[in-house]
Structure 1
Amino acid sequence: MAPVKTINGTQLLVQVGDGAEPEVFAADCLINTERGIAFASDTNEFVIPDCLDPDTPAWKEVTMDGLSAAITGSGMLHTSSIPDWDAWFRSGETKNVRVLLNNVVTVDGGGHWEGAYLLTGWEITGTRNEKAQVSVTLASSGVVTWVDAA
């Protein structure tokens, strides 16, 4: 038997770069419960007719046109992080972000995705007698690369 190699959800870290040279990446405590990265592609569809039998249903051909990656994160509101996230949102500028598979060695598939991201949405919510929650959405702006763990 070959068991699935797994990691805990807390080992999937969203790290935001500080813009310095060299750049330092750190996970902000604002994203403390759920986090994820989703990849998508824009596609074009073409119906390719059958020249020998044009009355039969034709097969579709799909080609990829554009690629993107979205990062989501949420958790209990960490109030110390509000000024930084609010400034990032209002700036309209990208930051370099990594999604790290932490504590996973190269032979087990460890590493990180890295690219420039725009903070496209963030939301703070609260319910009576409960702790306030936050959620963020980041959209890639340009190439997102995979880097194997060293």
Structure 2
Amino acid sequence: MATGQQLGRSLLIKIGDGNTPEVFSNLCGLKTRSFNMSANEVDTTIPSCTNPGGPVQKTSRPGISNRTFSGSGAFVAGAAMSAFMGYVRGSTAFNAQVIVPGDGTYEGSWMVTDFEFSGDVEPNMEFSATFVAADELTFTAEV
């Protein structure tokens, strides 16, 4: 695993082209991005059978895990963005890699759950998108 501080701009999502072998291209234009790893908490608390009136210790186990990538930035037109927009408009899953510097790569099927265009009069048009895993992901640790 890499040591030292990592650049935020190196946190990337790469969209697959669907070919064999699959080629992944950076989703261009992202200025801000985040990757969230979470899991539901399943309550396993059981009051004491021998002392039901006594203190109860809360216990839990991990439930469904969730991996979410979100980003926003300048909309940069081109072949890769056109292919990506086809997935967004069609509400279809696609292969992608999320590269997390200092951690590794999360690869598999992803889908866009939220997409928005935005813009003011003078600056470039921007977009924001939220991606969630559409199937089980594979993880490859950074070496």
User: How is 1:117-132 mapped onto 2 (pairs within 5 angstroms)?
Assistant: 117-132=110-125
Aligned residues: 140
Corresponding residue number in structure 1 for 2:33? 35
Aligned mates of 2:139, 2:5 — CA distance in 1 = 18
Partner of 1:105: none
After the TM superposition, which residues 41-80 of structure 1 pair with which residues of structure 2 at under 5 Å, given as runs?
A: 41-80=39-78
**What is the correspondence of 1:1-150 to structure 2 with a 5 Å cutoff?**
5-30=4-29, 32-80=30-78, 83-101=82-100, 109=102, 111-149=104-142
Gaps of 5+ in 1: 103-108
* Partner amino acid, structure 2, of 1:8: L
Q: How far off its partner does 1:56 sit?
A: 2.4
- Post-superposition, which runs of at least 4 consecutive aligned residues in structure 1 deviate over 4 A? none
What RMSD, in angstroms, separates the aligned Cα atoms of the two structures? 2.1
Deviation at 1:84, TM superposition (A): 2.6
Calculate the TM-score normalised by the size of structure 2.
0.84
Measure how far apart 1:144 and its partner are. Answer: 2.0
* 1:146 maps to amino acid: F
Distance in 2 between the 1:20 and 1:147 partners?
A: 21
SS, match of residue 47 in structure 1: coil
What TM-score do you get using the length of structure 1 for normalisation?
0.80
Unmatched runs of 5 consecutive residues or more in structure 2: none
